[in-house]
Amino acid sequence: MQKVEAIIQPSKVEAVKAALIEAGITGMTIVEARGHGRQKGHTEFYRGREYSVDLLPKGKVEVVVQDEMVETAIRAIIAGARTGKIGDGKIFVSPVAQVIRIRNDERGEGAL
């Protein structure tokens, strides 16, 4: 099992969610986050004063999938999130040692 985490633009969260569901991945966690990568934020004016916005709003989508579904999840995330511009985001893949369904103590891939 693998955990696929994507940090994306908040405006792309719904498109990524729809792409994952279409790919057959229905279990996911979506979180509002703030951060920055290479774009480093920007400056804005508010009431005549300039200030720096260095933590930008982001969306974080997390899915845990069977090993054979990792590439499918990655392709779905890219299809939903890519604009071709800086700030599209990143995808991280990491192994998951164990999954346990709290309701009935089911373990392993069956708990997904």
- What does the alpha-carbon distance between residue 10 and residue 22 come to, in Å, rounded to a whole number? 20
What does the pLDDT read at residue 22? 97
Residue among 58, 67, 64, 83 at smallest CA distance from 20: 64
Output the tens digit of pLDDT for each of the chain's 112 residues: 999 999 999 999 999 999 999 999 999 999 999 988 776 666 777 777 877 777 889 999 999 999 999 999 999 999 999 999 888 999 999 999 999 999 999 999 888 8
Domains of the chain: 2-111 (3.30.70.120)
What does the pLDDT read at residue 63? 98
